[in-house]
Amino acid sequence: MTNIRHTSVAPTRTQRMAPGAAIDAHRHDDHQIVYAGRGVLAVTTDAGSWVAPATRAIWIPAGTVHAHQAHGELELHLVGLPRTENPLALDTPTVLAVGPLLRELIVAHTRPPGADSPERARLRAVLLDQLRASPQEPLHLPTPTVPLLRTLCDILCADPADGRTLAELGREVGASDRTLSRLFRSDLGMTFPQWRTQSRLHHALVLLACHTPVTAVAHLCGWSSASAFIDVFRRAFGHTPGTHPRG
């Protein structure tokens, strides 16, 4: 990432973003929790991308260069924490589950006025307790560092419905399926089917935020049927795409 903006303090506030709006690459000296009360937020770093619908938040450690992308009408809640305070002991971006209580705590904490007060300090303490108890979610889509693998992944990101096997894709990029399979494990830490499913889920969240019908999302993202998509989505997010919060 180039032209990186640096701010010493990560703000605590609510910010609205129009569909497709973006915040360019920047970093903070503080930790930050970003939560989309509406819409879907995508956070991108050199290491990959993370997506968070209204049931998830993203932990961004201090010093991490990152960019934001809005999908759907985004209501973004930002919580800044001092670098010396890391309740999650995490040094990489991570997606966290957000239950009803944590959601209300984040929304209340980012609502003006933001002045310090005993009441606000108590609210923040409970928020941190809830964060520590929040399950981490495997919603990271890593970015390949190997050029050959990057070419293949770009093909599938451009068309998530591309259903070709690894061997068929290998013939296009000039590598055997055995070589590509090994690269997925060594470079991305996951198998090819795992990466493709993760990529399709990322695209599905974006399409749902844009009010695309469930059946159309299933088709555009490469599932054989709406029921197959619904099953994978439910296992990943704990609810069906039909009940998923829209932007």
The domain that holds 28 is classified in CATH as 2.60.120.810
What pLDDT score does 8 carry? 61
15 & 129 share domain: yes
29 & 89 share domain: yes
Q: Cα separation of 20 and 120, whole Å?
A: 33
Q: Residue 9: which pLDDT band, with cuts at 50, 70 and 90?
A: low
46 & 116 share domain: yes
**HEC readout, the chain:** CCCCEEECCCCCEEEEECCCCEEEEEEECCEEEEEEEEEEEEEEECCEEEEECCCEEEEECCCCCEEEEEEEEEEEEEEEECCCCCCCCCCCCEEEECCHHHHHHHHHHCCCCCCCCHHHHHHHHHHHHHHHCCCEECCEEECCCCHHHHHHHHHHHHCCCCCCCHHHHHHHHCCCHHHHHHHHHHHHCCCHHHHHHHHHHHHHHHHHHCCCCHHHHHHHCCCCCHHHHHHHHHHHHCCCHHHCCCC
Nearest in space to 139 (alpha carbons), one of 89, 184, 205, 216: 205
227 & 185 share domain: yes
30 & 110 share domain: yes
Q: Tell me the pLDDT tens digit for each residue of 190-241.
A: 999 999 999 999 999 989 988 899 999 999 999 999 999 999 999 988 888 8
Q: Which of 87, 110, 140 is the last residue of a domain?
A: 140
What pLDDT score does 179 carry? 97
Is residue 113 reached through a cis peptide bond, with omega within 30 degrees of 0 on the bond before it? Answer: yes
Q: Which of 113, 140, 167 is the last residue of a domain?
A: 140
Q: Residue 13: which pLDDT band, with cuts at 50, 70 and 90?
A: confident
What pLDDT score does 210 carry? 84
The domain that holds 152 is classified in CATH as 1.10.10.60
Q: Residue 156: which pLDDT band, with cuts at 50, 70 and 90?
A: very high
24 & 127 share domain: yes
Q: Cα separation of 93 and 97, whole Å?
A: 13
Domain span at 187: 144-243
What pLDDT score does 203 carry? 93
Q: Cα separation of 108 and 127, whole Å?
A: 10
Q: Cα separation of 31 and 86, whole Å?
A: 8
Q: Is the pLDDT of residue 17 over 60?
A: yes
42 & 104 share domain: yes
User: Which range is least confidently modeled, 32-36, 82-86, 168-172?
Assistant: 82-86
Q: Tell me the pLDDT tens digit for each residue of 21-80.
A: 998 999 999 999 999 988 888 999 988 999 888 888 999 999 999 999 988 888 899 999
42 & 126 share domain: yes
128 & 166 share domain: no
Q: Which of 108, 140, 172 is the last residue of a domain?
A: 140
Q: Tell me the pLDDT tens digit for each residue of 178-191.
A: 999 999 999 999 99
Q: Tell me the pLDDT tens digit for each residue of 96-142.
A: 989 999 999 999 988 876 567 788 888 889 999 998 899 888 778 99
Total structural domains within the chain: 2
Nearest in space to 64 (alpha carbons), one of 37, 78, 83: 83
Q: Is the pLDDT of residue 247 over 60?
A: no
Q: Is the pLDDT of residue 7 over 90?
A: no
105 & 156 share domain: no
What pLDDT score does 12 carry? 85
109 & 212 share domain: no
176 & 212 share domain: yes
